[in-house]
Structure 1
């Protein structure tokens, strides 16, 4: 009997397993089992290197469905994400995302559909890695600036926190509009536009305030 497994990677205190499960159920998924890794990076660890992630290779069978909030839960490394998705598709597992309702299925034999599917997988995996690298670089720059001049005037306290900033950048990478992001985060359109215009400055501001 086929089953639906939700895989969640909880890498920060702003993310919770309950939240990812609630999102999946709200999107209409009936989850049979949840597999989750806590406090692990999607950049430095592959799915097979995570305690729970590697269990998916033993648990998933032909006809099963693997649900993830977004492809970045599988990882933020281009090669790893593409390898993981292709491996499971080859086993007859369907991968579905909660955000935007993406479906990756290896059953199709039409070469054109295969080409479109594979191109989309590659694009999403590359986007996940690029976003992670940009965020990490901005964080390093902000921390370095704060350490170089700890007495520097911090300016006005930002109206956003780490969770809000990550949400903005996540939605931007997926093509969401300013108004949509503003409603989802509770930030003003002006703040969203400022973050989109200079993510590095937004990261530096958080670092100066220790947020």
Structure 2
């Protein structure tokens, strides 16, 4: 019988992406990954921790407690070396309210990218190193949580390029292919190297062990 694992997001695209990343273990264990939207009334968890792992844990534990199901959560962001690891956990709100409190994500993404490029305008190429970082957490009611981390190293471009992806993808050039930004990758190409893909691929063996029965 198919069993559900709930992902701490209301974004169905993230559910679709994770089902692609975890396709083998989902099929082997007869799992179905669903979004938190399938459970009206679950708490909206504030990300109050100062680490990616801490925020992911808050979301996974709250969702597992509210639904009684195994829950997956992740938190991720961009760490820029010359900025001491910032924006970090503040990546999604780096520009504050510049785009407006009720602005859609695309407007907020543009505001974040614009501000970061302004801050790095005089920084030469050799000092524009950065990494996307993701912490993934699996919480099962009554069991110890499991945490995995994924990273992808790269550098920041001087201007946005590409139309795929979101967030800082248009200005992040991964070391794996220094000719393109992540926004110029296909979904499959991005999943193969991304911080999120790496974190959840590391989670596969844990899921097989914890969810086999």
Q: Of Structure 1 and Structure 2, which has the larger fraction of its residues in helix? A: 1
* Greater radius of gyration (CA): 1
- TM-score where L is the length of structure 1: 0.31
Q: Of Structure 1 and Structure 2, which has the larger fraction of its residues in strand? A: 2
